[in-house]
Structure 1
Amino acid sequence: MRPLNHPLRDWAGLRVWVIGASSGIGAALAVEALLAGARVALSARRTERLQAVASGHPQALVAPFDILDAQAWHARHEQICQLFGGIDLIVFCAADYHPERSWEVNAEGAARTLQTNLGSVYTGLSTVLPAMLARGSGGIAIVASVAGYFGLPNASVYGPSKAALINLAELLYVDLRPRGLSVYLINPGFVQTSLTAKNDFTMPALQTPQAAARAIRRGLASGRFEIHFPRRFTLALKFLRWLPYRLRFPLISRLVHP
């Protein structure tokens, strides 16, 4: 079967913009791309963290900004395009997460998480899409999560934001693939990051950011639409998602209240 996207096998000279590149999956993926020969713009708020990731990589461009600032998006995009000549792949990897049950959610915190995880992606899309569409090529990679597969306790805001990203990636693919663009949906399981460090439960199939970055690169190289990993964990969740509610809800309750 033909791949759904253009396979990204040769990274030499590829112009990549990683949003959320200061730590975790974003930082590891940026390094993976740099080692493969790509030119990578690294963006997040923390300049010193970005400089640490870029250290030793002459093809890295440190481009810090606040993803909640719409004007800053346009300024950084213009700068990167001037230096790189364009963007071949943008990776939306920035995220916010607070483990909380539904009765612990407050409006202000929920709004910030939704704006970080979802709203900023819309701002970024409105920034980069015009040039990609005019050129008729380019790739958009959205890092969602298996937490978006179905409702899970402790992910009262994070989970819905990731479910929305899954939906967004699906509709983007239908809209943009006929116009020459590739859309990649990335659904990781548990990865060792500052976000998952907030969890107070045992996380099955926990991976390092470096292992996650390698899995993402393999998925991009194969041209997959959905890149999910580790498969021994994500396939089990996919099966759970296919179950009718009458069966799924008791199983989830048993996991949460053993």
Structure 2
Amino acid sequence: MTTVTRSGRGLFAPLNTPIRNWQGRRVWIVGASTGIGEALALDLAARGARLALSARGVERLQAVRAACMARGVAASDCVVEALDLARDADFARAQAAVLARWGGVDLVVFNAGTYRPLRAWELSAEAVRETVELNLVGTLCGVGELVPVLLRQGSGAIALVGSVAGYGGLPKATVYGPTKAALINLAETLYLDLSPRGVDVFLIDPGFVATPLTAANDFHMPALQTPVQAAQAIVDGLARGDFEIHFPKRFTRVLKALQWLPRRFYFRLVRRATGL
């Protein structure tokens, strides 16, 4: 396996190659039908990217595709590939279709996921399996299919959408939080393996974003953002070449700082902030 030498990366240089020019860039968004994925697709469409849109709901994806085309993307440069990450071999099938059309891919965003607010006494085998299979197992399997492609190219990037829920325990994130913590760990591991070989890895950790999933929350969500704001923060982070793109900073920096506190203070502050 050929190792690509990265030059010009000093101590304070970007960890990834900054992505600033989107014109003609081949971007595959897995989880593009609603929320952050939809907003990111629309943002990148306006910047001239070529888009492959994937999710389980084909009808909703077609609506997103139409909205992207309204922003100037040619019909041939905005395609829909239905995909259920929780199904074995579904990612490989969709990837083959994307590669057959483009011959390669420049950025794959793993945004697909599910969330069910659960307290410890509400756990069920069905809820655990549904969340873990989609959020973690499906993403891991998809990454396993994608990495050999990017290594053969000697270029490209993977972006994993984690969450601040992966930083530390939060009420009602009994299953969701552990899957996102695992994705944070996965992104760090992938970076160590792939960056020296010419493949960039981005970790996207949003705070609370108003999506159909977070609409199920019945507690106060500090610093709640819109999907459009989230998409802008992601594009800005990609342009800087950040490894971790976390937002909004006024919220995520507080959560990061809380991890340094003794647990008794952490638990007290989290309960006070959420009211749970």
TM-score (norm 2): 0.91
Q: Which runs of 5+ in 1 are unaligned?
A: none
Code of the residue aligned with 2:37 in structure 1: it is: G
Stretches of 4+ aligned residues off by more than 6 angstroms: none
1:20 corresponds in structure 2 to 31
CA distance in 2, matches of 1:91, 1:71: 18
* Pair 1:139 & 2:157 matched: yes
Per-residue Cα deviation, 1:78-136 (whole angstroms, up to 9, x for no partner) = 11111111111000001111111011010121011011101111111111111101121
1:33 corresponds in structure 2 to 44
After the TM superposition, which of the residue ranges 228-237 and 69-78 deviates more from structure 2?
A: 69-78
Describe the SS at the equivalent of 2:234: helix
**Correspondences of 1:87-98 after superposition (within 5 Å):** 87-98=105-116
Tell me how large the CA RMSD over aligned residues is.
Answer: 1.2
* Pair 1:102 & 2:113 matched: no
2:137 corresponds in structure 1 to 119
Describe the SS at the equivalent of 2:114: coil
1:230 corresponds in structure 2 to 248
Q: CA deviation at 1:73?
A: 1.2
Q: Which runs of 5+ in 2 are unaligned?
A: 1-11
* Pair 1:80 & 2:98 matched: yes
CA distance in 1, matches of 2:17, 2:241: 5
Code of the residue aligned with 1:4 in structure 2: it is: L
TM-score (norm 1): 0.97
Contact 2:104 2:153 in 1 (8 A): no
CA distance in 1, matches of 2:79, 2:262: 48
**In structure 1, which of residues 163, 166, 176 is the aligned counterpart of residue 194 of structure 2?**
176
**Correspondences of 1:160-239 after superposition (within 5 Å):** 160-239=178-257
Describe the SS at the equivalent of 1:242: coil
CA distance in 1, matches of 2:111, 2:96: 20
1:47 corresponds in structure 2 to 58
Q: CA deviation at 1:253?
A: 3.4
CA distance in 2, matches of 1:33, 1:225: 19
- Number of paired residues? 258
Q: CA deviation at 1:201?
A: 1.4
**In structure 2, which of residues 147, 152, 158 is the aligned counterpart of residue 129 of structure 1?**
147
